[in-house]
Structure 1
Amino acid sequence: MGGRAGSSSARHLALVPASDLTVDDIRSALDGARPLAVLPSGPASVVAAAEAALRPEEPVEAGADLVVVTSGSTGRARGVLLPAAAVRASASAALDRLGGAGSWLLALPVSAVAGLQVLCRSVLTGRVPTALAPGEPLAAAVARMPIGDRRYVSFVPTQLLRFLDAEPEALRAFDAVLVGGAATDPGLLARARDAGVRVVTTYGMTETAGGCVYDGEPLTGVGVRISGGGVELSGPTLALGYRLDPAATAAAFVDGWFRTRDAGWLADGRLTVTGRVDDVVVTGGVNIAPTAVESALREHPDVADAVVFGRPDDEWGQRVVAAVVPAAGAEPALPSLRAWVTERLGAPAAPRELHVVATVPTLHTGKPDRRAVAAAVGAP
């Protein structure tokens, strides 16, 4: 595949480990000078999977300036082809919605689109992001941010929960705390907002250059529609497709629309996402959204975190399975959790199997790794 117009040489990806990524790498990609892919940190198997999806030995598809590896939360990881124009459009629309350019705290992996966008937005506005060091108190990182500038940060829900419990005053220092990457419990959002934290929920994915719907409302230029119960997105932030996978590209990107694998609905132009189409647990003929059960479980006083999934069941077709992290000093019990969920969501949603785990493993994007949890806990 050829390079840009006027060039007779093929363009190849610059593969940069997350730990070695520089502002110059980002700037070169956004200027169209050198296509970039960031390798995730972590076990060798994670890096190898990313390299397999990226296939750096093959020329880069025309128009792609950044290739970002998806989390693999619903199957094989893919390289998503993003033109610089999509990243720029996303940054411009997001900053317009947030109230203008500002300084960012980097608290997410730069191999995933949310963390990468923090770097891109900083470069595009002439700023240098402040990185949150592992284990560093949030207040210490905030103290290192420029004074007199607007302050922004992007978190996944578990980070918001952790800092809300430990350092709510530090969270209040931000002009906007963006939360995305996974469904955020309404109870957690209410707690944060009651504490004076300016939370903005974001919905989007690598294929839309990150969040493109803020607090349920599409960013300028973004289209949202529901087709067959699934969410579809359009606009200038869309990717070109998938790296060296024309069949998957043709199936997901149709007539200027990206077919997500999320279920949801629109009301008065506001989007509500109910969960992944793939994650629905059908038990006794009733469709159960795992995210709704997780939200209910996290409100239980004995539960600090939860992941819910389905398993084959001879009687029910599938049974609802919960893996929970206990709250400090608590011992979660299945009868109590079943009663709790039944009261809030009805009997079909109540877990029929319970596992207590120390932590919830996450993908390199920060999302809960449902597959890893299901494999780790095994059958009862």
Structure 2
Amino acid sequence: MITDLPIPPGDGALEALLALERALAGGAPVRPHAPDAPPAPLPAHDGPLPEDLAVVVSTSGSTGTPKPAMLGTQALAASAAATHDRLGGPGQWLLALPPHHVAGLQVLLRSVHAGTRPVLTDPALTPFALVQAVAAMSGERRYASLVPAQLTAMATDPVGIEGLRRLDAVLVGGAAADPQVVARAREDGVRVVLTYGMSETCGGCVYDGRALRGVAVDVGPSGTLLLGGPVVAHGYLGMPELTTEHFVRRDGMRWFVTSDLGSVDERGVVSVLGRADDLINSGGLKVAPRVVEEGVLAHVPAVTAALAVGLPHERWGEGVALLVVTSPGGPPVGEVPHEGVGQIREMLRPHLPAHALPHRVRVVAELPTRGPGKPDRAAARDLLGGASGPS
């Protein structure tokens, strides 16, 4: 029987540690959830549950309805051991993420495996709160896991940078981080580790482009990434068709077939372009939103965050549209006029192909997100609305 486990943010999350320890030790598996959002009933599961099932964690719902991924004790142990091995050894963790999502949950689970007590702070992280939380950490090695928005807020503040510098490693995942922010933080002495993974792989399993110990990465015929090894989930609870579609056995191990386009070079370095269903088809040419977003952040002054989506275009089928956040003194919230869009296109022209240049730009106070800091492209399309219009 799977037990619902409400985990509040902040200090209340410590109360869940005992239930997680019992689940890892072979007790009843648990399903973490936010205490103010009772979860929907779990789907009926045909056949016996996996023998070592410990946690059922919901995916972020990036491709639609969240799916309950079944994580076993062996997968969670392999993930924790490989993470600590890559970072330099077990340590004490700072929890600054919602603990019912896989990234925040893993902070608690890694703490159980390391035999340490995590320090907790509110996910609405401020530079002063970060410094206070880090000062309360007593471990020989100290780690934190953040989403890109938190890293940006900390790395652009002198107090926040000081807090980050006191940590032995800062894992950043859940969405693509701004390369300029990452570079600036690293120059300031912060050990930023960019992670890639998902609920189905016990969270991050590729760090700074390199697979963790025991993890294998391959590219399927359609260009999507496959992740294999001991960290892969058993499948989805009560969803046999999706389990068959996304979980396969090969080379004596379980593999998860992702929906992310990417590549692996001859050195084994993994590059992720983004979700296959997020690609923009402009005049028959494919545009990866992440490439546009990184180009905008690097080459358009005053833009501090960007989200690219495809909208209907009368000539090209789809055109690139942008939601952006600007720094104080930048363009105000609202639609950027035609002349302004033209200026942005000229700034980007030396760096992006013509079919990737935006046709519409709208300034917003903040980008829409879902889950722990993941971009919500469906909401972005709703905010933009209408057609991109002619070039």
On whether the aligned pair clears a TM of 0.5, the verdict is yes
- The answer to whether structure 1 residue 132 and structure 2 residue 130 are counterparts is no
- The answer to whether structure 1 residue 345 and structure 2 residue 347 are counterparts is no
The separation in 1 between residues aligned to 2:35 and 2:375, in whole angstroms, is 17
Tell me: CA distance 1:135–1:271, structure 2 relative to 1, closer, same or farther (3 Å): closer
The separation in 1 between residues aligned to 2:48 and 2:383, in whole angstroms, is 37
Task: Report deviation, 1:38.
Answer: 1.3
Amino acid at match of 2:27: A
Q: Spell out the pairing of 1:156-167 with structure 2 (5 A cutoff).
A: 156-166=147-157, 167=160
Tell me: CA distance 1:18–1:58, structure 2 relative to 1, closer, same or farther (3 Å): farther
1:143 to 132, 135, 140: 135
Tell me: CA distance 1:59–1:304, structure 2 relative to 1, closer, same or farther (3 Å): farther
User: What is residue 196 of structure 2 aligned with on the other side?
Assistant: 203
2:179 to 159, 179, 186: 186
Q: Spell out the pairing of 1:81-230 with structure 2 (5 A cutoff).
A: 81-133=70-122, 134-136=124-126, 137=128, 138-146=130-138, 149-166=140-157, 167-228=160-221, 229-230=223-224
Task: Report deviation, 1:241.
Answer: 0.5
User: What is residue 307 of structure 2 aligned with on the other side?
Assistant: 307
The separation in 1 between residues aligned to 2:361 and 2:376, in whole angstroms, is 17
Amino acid at match of 1:144: A
Per-residue CA deviations over 1:107-140 (Å, capped at 9, x if unaligned) read 1111111100000011111111111223542212
Task: Report deviation, 1:55.
Answer: 4.2
Tell me: CA distance 1:80–1:371, structure 2 relative to 1, closer, same or farther (3 Å): same
Q: Spell out the pairing of 1:253-268 with structure 2 (5 A cutoff).
A: 253-255=247-249, 256-267=254-265, 268=267
User: What is residue 3 of structure 1 aligned with on the other side?
Assistant: none
Per-residue CA deviations over 1:130-169 (Å, capped at 9, x if unaligned) read 11223542212211111x5211011111111110001212
Percent of residue pairs bearing the same amino acid type = 42
The answer (yes or no) to whether the contact 1:13–1:56 under 8 Å persists in 2 is no
Q: Secondary structure at the match of 1:379?
A: coil
Q: Secondary structure at the match of 1:344?
A: coil
Task: Report deviation, 1:17.
Answer: 4.4
User: What is residue 364 of structure 2 aligned with on the other side?
Assistant: 357
User: What is residue 12 of structure 1 aligned with on the other side?
Assistant: 2
The separation in 1 between residues aligned to 2:260 and 2:187, in whole angstroms, is 29
The separation in 1 between residues aligned to 2:364 and 2:322, in whole angstroms, is 10
The answer (yes or no) to whether the contact 2:278–2:289 under 8 Å persists in 1 is yes
The separation in 2 between residues aligned to 1:32 and 1:59, in whole angstroms, is 19
Per-residue CA deviations over 1:241-264 (Å, capped at 9, x if unaligned) read 011000000000111211011111
The separation in 1 between residues aligned to 2:48 and 2:163, in whole angstroms, is 42
The answer (yes or no) to whether the contact 1:81–1:243 under 8 Å persists in 2 is yes
Per-residue CA deviations over 1:292-331 (Å, capped at 9, x if unaligned) read 1111222322212111111122211111110111111201
Amino acid at match of 1:62: P
The separation in 1 between residues aligned to 2:284 and 2:57, in whole angstroms, is 38
Task: Report deviation, 1:336.
Answer: 2.5
Task: Report deviation, 1:346.
Answer: 1.9
User: What is residue 375 of structure 1 aligned with on the other side?
Assistant: 382
The separation in 1 between residues aligned to 2:172 and 2:81, in whole angstroms, is 18
User: What is residue 280 of structure 2 aligned with on the other side?
Assistant: 281
Q: Which moved more, 1:111-120 or 1:370-379?
A: 370-379
The answer (yes or no) to whether the contact 1:342–1:348 under 8 Å persists in 2 is no
Task: Report deviation, 1:234.
Answer: 0.6
Tell me: CA distance 1:294–1:282, structure 2 relative to 1, closer, same or farther (3 Å): same
Per-residue CA deviations over 1:210-231 (Å, capped at 9, x if unaligned) read 1111111111111111112111
The separation in 2 between residues aligned to 1:285 and 1:33, in whole angstroms, is 53
User: What is residue 7 of structure 1 aligned with on the other side?
Assistant: none
TM-score, normalized by length of structure 1? 0.90
The separation in 2 between residues aligned to 1:172 and 1:376, in whole angstroms, is 37
User: What is residue 237 of structure 2 aligned with on the other side?
Assistant: 243
Q: Secondary structure at the match of 1:345?
A: coil
- The answer to whether structure 1 residue 39 and structure 2 residue 33 are counterparts is yes
User: What is residue 270 of structure 1 aligned with on the other side?
Assistant: 269
Structure 1 alignment gaps of length 5 or more? 1-10
The separation in 1 between residues aligned to 2:367 and 2:44, in whole angstroms, is 32
The separation in 2 between residues aligned to 1:140 and 1:60, in whole angstroms, is 46
User: What is residue 296 of structure 2 aligned with on the other side?
Assistant: 297
RMSD: 2.0
The separation in 2 between residues aligned to 1:271 and 1:303, in whole angstroms, is 28
The separation in 2 between residues aligned to 1:170 and 1:287, in whole angstroms, is 41
Amino acid at match of 1:143: A
